[in-house]
Structure 1
């Protein structure tokens, strides 16, 4: 990340011979508390801030004094292509950004940093929400108190609630069989657990959420297997019917010979074998 990604591109500057009183008027007009001081060629010669103004007031210095007599002359400057991490320190509150000739082309302040990182956080958070909501599997998470925090679109679809309806509510009030509170209490990972929620069956992978060694919640990623469960039950029913049919055929006293439409033998019972030898 470079300084040009963070800096203000239209910096407010003070000319070399401007008075402190005029500088204060500039601060008020543009709602800033400091600016670089430049010479007639636009090159940085110093930095004048509200701290200098406070010092003038306490020391009784005339406000008509030129800022060139009051400014801080040893100024750290940056280049638009400098890496932010190389420049950023707690001691740098304002950083004039200059081009290769030394002319001011930008300004970076703590407000610029706060604004940039807030936007970056918002963008990352928005992308993460989009990814979570685009996932086919259900994702539900709770905090250490059991309050629901994440409830994605798939969870809404299969569990019948909107995210705004459940966020902040206790998981046990809505989904007491989720098993998430057990994860919060034990800290154990429980993969491939079959659970039933709202008359539907799911395979649930449950894990604790750990931050700096402390459990701060739990998350479940679930896949709906209700259709598979229904198919399994149907197959089990067919199997039972087949076993009953087999028992009936084998217990018949009459000889039974069963073939398909092409004459291929499918089954004969013991009575048929006894009769035909």
Structure 2
């Protein structure tokens, strides 16, 4: 185990060479061992069968039958030597029906029992009359012997036995040659495995960007941790359209069952309305697409995965549009506050410079008149705001827009009959401020562009009945019927300068989110009138954090 663990410190190529080399040695070694054993057994069997066939052939010779019957050792002894030479056997031994030798390569053993050499009683041949093969160690070494009974001419009476033996050193020599060949094959297989391991390791390393397995494992864990910590939903599919990544944020965003396993399933089975298959087919990325998926309005990005110029998959990240809108609204509110402060600062700096100049030229009465005029005008607007609404956030927004209008040389007029004291507590003030702020800014810009300084933007507020009604009238150029249909489309603008076409789209989305309605129509004199209707019975939707809790 320690040696195995130590391999982890080696590079991938070195590990692959060692592992494949060891596997090659083990495979060829085991295969060679069984091959040698099989060859040894086959050769033994072949030699034994050959010895038995030779013994049966000799036992059927009439001369041998007659000589054994007569126990003619003088005839059988030289015959056994000639037969051994002609059949390439190590020995040919004759015995009578009692197993006493009648001929033997060693004359001194003639007359002795054949059982003295190998302990074989020769019972199968002498008792049962059957030819058989035996392997034994005799006086001249290990041999494979074929033994056959010798019958009288009638073919029934057993009168003796003949034993033909082949030494096994020949088998060992043949097996030895094959063993050397096997060792050469093992060496060649090992070298071939090393070369293939190097080539395969180079190809494999290139495919995994020259990373080590431990690095890939660490990156995989980091990737999973990253996917689960981001708040955006992330889904990835392969070239077959099957899901390979589906993080927890995607499940929560789409309100899918979290007790199911989505990896490996086809994207159409999980998200049938997804456009990821289109990206997989055409390879064109999609950025900041507003889509509806599982009855959710999302902002989605879909990026194709390319390998050697071929699309191998698609990754999609998405987030609820209202979350992004909330961020946008907060930024808009901050921007409005900043503009309000800048407008007030700029306006009051101008007034202070004027007052300072009047004091320097000793026009004290005029200076006091300017101060009184500014104070009375500003105080009158503030007093009017306090009569219209008691909501400090709404009042602060309108005061800021009043100062902004003053800076532009325009007037923001609030209808004297306006009343907005019944604002529901659950109505998000930042959304209301964003709606009014964008409409007023749009009206100021339109009035200044068409009417010039001295123009008026009028505002009417009403909380009568079941709805909150806000009317903004400008003195702009007005809108054609075609422009009125497109004015709330994101990116569409009637202005020639860049950076427009977003505010009214945001207003429409906010009004829709609050369950209200917005209309645009020509004003009574000139310009346009934007009217917003918001229900008082608005119920604030739960946030994602509240849903999680």
Shorter-chain TM-score bucket reads 0.3 to 0.5
TM-score by length of 1: 0.47
TM-score by length of 2: 0.27
Larger proportion of strand:
1
Which is bigger in relative contact order (C-alpha 8 A, separation at least 6)?
A: 1
